[in-house]
Amino acid sequence: MSSVTVIGTQWGDEGKGKVVDWLSERADIIVRFQGGHNAGHTLVIDGETYKLSLLPSGILRKNKLAVIASGVVIDPQALLKEIDELQERGVEISPDNLVIAENASLILPIHRYMDKRQEQVLRGGIGTTLRGIGPAYADRAARRALRVCDLADKSYLRTRLTSLLDHHAPLFSDSPDKPPSLQEMLTSLEESASRILPFAQPVWRLFEGRRHAQILFEGAQGVHLDLDHGTFPYVTSSRTVPAEAACSSGIATRRVGFVLGITKAYTTRVGLGPFPSEQDNEIGERLGKLGNEFGTVTNRKRRCGWFDAVLVRQSGIIAGIDGIALTKMDVLDSFAEIDICVGYLIDGERWTHLPPHPFLQARIEPIFETMPGWRASTRGARSWADLPAQAIKYVRRIEELIRQPVSLLSTSPEREDVIVVRDPFF
Ligand code: IMP
Ligand code: MG
């Protein structure tokens, strides 16, 4: 038995989709364990691009079991749409290769309306994906949520939905934008039920008879978007750290296995919140253009900046990372000079970690170290010998600063363009 848990070490969009897909060839079971369709993973397979939101990347490979565990919030309509679109492209999806946790909570249409309303009026907004993620997790914590298993009983569904809608009614009392009625929501849930229930199972039981299975836990977002460890309140509403893989799946925490931190060779963030190494200038524009930094889910332009070693060293410790997969180095190929953020100054004092206080974060001045660029292509490299010496120096400097070894180096969006230092499944 061995397992690998893939985690983003920054603010999401580190290139997890590609790495997870590469690893999924070696796995028997691939588990999505948190988040929802706020995530967007882009995969390129034989020149064809696939964008996945809710389904684990392993769904694209034959003879793998893809699992959506209980910590994921599921929008039934979004899930069915994603399934339909993949099936139209010839991907086989059936209860034989997809299991959905029967105890996972649902995102209801009202959650989308609440997300929008809260962004507009109540909190001043944090730049969410407007998918209803936060309100759905809030209802789960408040024990109001409807779950996948509830879809099996119409009258139970009606009772629970009625009280949930009653609870939230005041939020919409003076809103011109009203959520659908109880009856509309019930009809849509009942329609989804017959298609979703065949996939519903107790996920914890899957692992019982599969002692030798290789499991890949596929994280979404990143450590700095974690509900507690992230840049609160500019975070998502789920736990993005590896322990959640075990909590969500109902499996021993030691089976989280090797923790692979996916790390982009520079930094991006989508939505609001602190970003010390941000380059709100022509450098950021260039990174965004070369890196095609537009959200997979919302198509928003991502904010871009230099690599922040403080941030990644911190997430390495918090998430117990065993090695990183460094991605998108080729985006830096044309830069004459490359900066790395190595520390923060706050009121003249040097900090080696990102404090949680928003008012201190607002006063951070990044300390940069400048390295010469390599001005040559690293794209598609499959061995160290294919890399310019200066590019290798950049990788070594990152390893030194974050105190983590590089396990994988991903050199293009294509599945097989990877330099393997240490295969996380060993
Ligand atoms: P929510 O998850 O939609 O509530 O959004 C909360 C914050 O997390 C916003 O800043 C989003 O942009 C960010 N976020 C959520 N999912 C992702 C993701 O998959 N990649 C990057 N940022 C994300
Ligand atoms: Mg993404």
128 CB near ligand 1 (under 6 Å): yes
Measuring CA to CA, which residue among 208, 12, 233, 220 is closest to residue 119? Answer: 233
Atom of ligand 1 nearest to the CA of 220: 19
- What is the per-residue pLDDT for 124? 73
Q: What is the pLDDT of residue 383?
A: 95
Atom of ligand 1 nearest to the CA of 8: 20
Rg (CA), the chain: 21
Closest ligand 1 atom to the C-alpha of 128?
A: 5
CA of 72 to the centre of ligand 1 (A): 14
Provide CB contacts within 8 A for 419, sequence distance 6+.
381, 382, 383, 384, 386, 387, 408, 409, 411
237 CB near ligand 1 (under 6 Å): yes
Quick count: other Cβ atoms within 10 Å of Cβ 113? 21
Question: Which long-range contacts does 288-292 make (Cβ < 8 Å, 24+ apart)?
Answer: 290/331, 290/334, 291/266, 291/328, 291/331
What distance in Å separates the CA atoms of residue 203 and residue 251, rounded to the nearest whole number?
Answer: 9
Helix (H, G, I), strand (E, B) or coil at 15: coil
Task: Please report the pLDDT score of residue 121 as a whole number.
Answer: 79
The minimum-distance atom of ligand 1 relative to the CA of 134 is: 4
What spacing in Å lies between the alpha carbon of 162 and ligand 1's midpoint? 29
131 CB less than 6 Å from ligand 1? yes
Chain mean position to CA 245: 13
E strands in 62-218? 65-68, 73-74, 98-101, 105-106, 200-201, 214-218
Ligand nearest to the CA of 220: 1
What is the 108 CA–ligand 2 centroid distance (Å)? 22
Per-residue pLDDT, 45 = 82
Can you give the pLDDT at residue 266? 98
59 near 96, Cβ under 8 Å?
no
Neighbours of 7 (CB within 10 A): 32
Q: Dmax over Cα atoms in the chain, in whole Å?
A: 67
Q: Which of 92, 86, 399, 31 is nearest to 245 (CA)?
A: 31
Q: Taking the CA of residue 67 as centre, how many other CA atoms within 13 Å lie in the half-sphere pointing to its CB?
A: 28
CA of 224 to the centre of ligand 2 (A): 14
**For ligand 1, atom 1, which residue shows the shortest CA distance?**
128
Give the predicted TM-score (pTM) of the model: 0.96
Nearest CA to ligand 1 atom 20: 12
φ, ψ (nearest 5 deg) of residue 394:
-60, -45
57 CA → ligand 2 middle, Å: 12
pLDDT at 364 (0 to 100): 98
d(CA 267, CA 300): 16
Cα of 258 vs centre of ligand 1, distance in Å, is 25
The domains located in the chain, with CATH, are: 3-101+199-259 (3.40.440.10), 105-196 (1.10.300.10), 263-420 (3.90.170.10)
Q: Does the C-beta of 261 come closer than 6 Å to ligand 1?
A: no
Contact 263, 312 (CB under 8 A): yes
Tell the residue nearest (CA) to atom 21 of ligand 1. Answer: 12
Q: How far is CA 115 from CA 125, 274, 296, in A?
A: 9, 21, 19
Q: Which mutation among 38, 113, 304 tests ligand 1's pocket best, with the greatest number of atoms within 8 A of CB?
A: 38
Residue pair 115/128 in contact (Cβ under 8 Å)? The answer is: yes
CA-nearest of 319, 316, 311 to 239 is: 319
Residues of the chain scoring pLDDT < 50: none
Candidate from 128, 227, 293 with most ligand 1 atoms within 8 A of CB, to mutate: 128
Question: In this predicted structure, what is the pLDDT of residue 22?
Answer: 92
β-sheet bridge partners, residue 236:
none
- Neighbour tally for 59: CB within 10 Å: 23
Q: What residues act catalytically?
A: 13, 41
For residue 299, what pLDDT is reported?
85
**Is the alpha carbon torsion for 240, 246, 247, 253 positive or negative?**
negative
Q: Is 133 in the pocket of ligand 1 (CB under 6 A)?
A: yes
* DSSP reduced 3-state for 28: coil
Q: What is the pLDDT of residues 70-112, one digit of tens each?
A: 999 999 999 999 999 999 999 999 999 999 999 999 999 999 9
- Answer for the pair 192, 80: CB distance below 8 angstroms, yes or no: yes
Q: Which residue out of 221, 240, 300, 327 has the highest number of ligand 1 atoms within 8 Å of its CB and is therefore the one to mutate?
A: 221
